[in-house]
Amino acid sequence: MLAYLRTGETAAVNFVDGTEGLLMAPAYAVPRMLAREGLRFADFDFFEIHEAFAAQVLCTLKAWEDPQYCRERLGLDAPLGAIDRAKMNVNGGSLGCGHPFAATGGRQLAALAKAIHERGGGRGLISICAAGGLGITAIVEK
C-alpha cells in the first residue's frame, strides 16, 4: 500500500451570476476539510493542486492568503495561510504531466501516493477544480 485516502470534501460555486470564479470551488472545500480534520497547511508534506490553467492556481493560493476573501467568502476569522511552494506539485502538475480529462484525480492521487511512499511516509493534500463550478479535495497519508 503506497498511501491511504484519509478524507475528502466537495464544494460548488455559483459562477453564473458573476459573484465567484468558475474554478474557485476548491478554495471553499479545503478550509472545511482542514477544520474538520484539525489540520493546517503546515501539517502537509505535499500539495497536488490541479492546474486547469496556471492562473487558476494563483487565484486559489491568493484567496487562501487574503484576509478579506477568507472573511467575506469563506467565513473564516483569519486567512487560511500560504502554502510552501516547494511542496506543491513536486513532480510536475497538470500542465507538466498532462490533464487526462475525467482522470485528473486518478493521476493526482497516484502521483501523491507515490511521493509519500518514496519519502517513507507523510501527508498530502489534493485540490481539483472541475467544470461546472465544482471542487474536489482530499487528504492522503501514510
The tally of domains found in the chain comes to: 1
- The pLDDT, as a whole number, for residue 117 is 97
Distance CA 129, CA 13 (A): 11
Q: What is the domain range of residue 130?
A: 4-141
Cβ neighbours of 82 (radius 10 Å): 12
pTM, rounded to two decimals: 0.93
- The pLDDT, as a whole number, for residue 13 is 96
Amino acid in the structure at residue 113: A
DSSP string, 23-66: T-HHHHHHHHHHHHHT--GGG-SEEEE--SSHHHHHHHHHHHH-
Mean pLDDT score, 71-88: 97
- The pLDDT, as a whole number, for residue 95 is 72
Look at the alpha carbons of 129, 132, 133, 135 in this order and tell me if their dihedral is positive or negative: negative
- DSSP class of residue 78? S
Look at the alpha carbons of 101, 102, 103, 104 in this order and tell me if their dihedral is positive or negative: positive
CATH number at residue 90: 3.40.47.10
